[in-house]
Amino acid sequence: MDRKIKIITQDFFPIEGGITTWVHHLALEHQRLGASVEVITRHWHGRTYDDSIFPYEVVRLNDERWKSRKYQRIYNYISSVAERDEKFSAICANWKMAVPMWWYNSLRTKKEKIPYIIMVHGLDAFESRMFNRWMMRRVLNGADFVVSGAKNVAQIIRREHRYSPEIPIIHCGVDVNIFKPMSIEAEFFEKYKIPRDRKIVLSLGRLVPRKGFDNV
């Protein structure tokens, strides 16, 4: 395994959600492709979980004050790792987790900089506070690649955050090959009063642009 991938995320098991699922499958895919994967996340006090069930390494920054010290904690961790191994990529599941990466890279020479990819999820792109918008603009334009949660989010990043056209940005999509048609029972239509003479779209999310339903 020549490639070493560090995934930095605040959302991870035992917390459920889209980012948690995305991080898990991202780690599995990189490991399948031959990389050594490490997920860096927080320790949830009062929660029961077993990280040994994962086929990749999980590092918990054990600090009850994660929210107030997370930037410094992650910065220190990345620094200590880089001292041992210069060649790794850091993939951040949330743009705020990329802030210490930006700090770290800005203090190092160009030759030693660590490439990193940012995942901008949903409301992150709608930041209204002036300092946070400034910080987000600097962090985004310091990345090597950006993944957005939806097409709408990618458009907002380019429009609102002076995003460099030279930095690739893609939005999450759906692999239609993994969906298989299922038999539909008559009871389903009857129970939910669904008409049979028209096509329907079933959604478990909110019908807002940032959820990507403009692509359905």
Measured distance CA(116)–CA(139) in Å, rounded: 10
Average pLDDT, integer, range 149-172: 82
37 — pLDDT class (breaks 50, 70, 90): very high
Tokens of 177: 């090959």
ω into 14 cis (within 30 of 0) = yes
Average pLDDT, integer, range 110-125: 75
pLDDT(140) > 80: yes
Judged by average pLDDT, the poorest of 39-53, 72-86, 128-142 is 72-86
Place of tokens 């006090």: 45
What are the CA-CA distances from residue 37 to residues 57, 112, 145, 212 (Å)?
6, 21, 18, 29
What is the DSSP pairing of strand 89-92 with strand 116-120? parallel
Q: Which domains does the chain have, with CATH numbers?
A: 4-174 (3.40.50.2000)
Measured distance CA(3)–CA(85) in Å, rounded: 11
DSSP letter at 17 equals S
Of the candidates 196, 189, 123, 200, the one whose C-alpha atom is nearest the C-alpha of residue 160 is: 123
Tokens of 16: 């459920």
pLDDT(65) > 60: no
Measured distance CA(64)–CA(124) in Å, rounded: 24
**Mean pLDDT of all residues in the chain?**
77
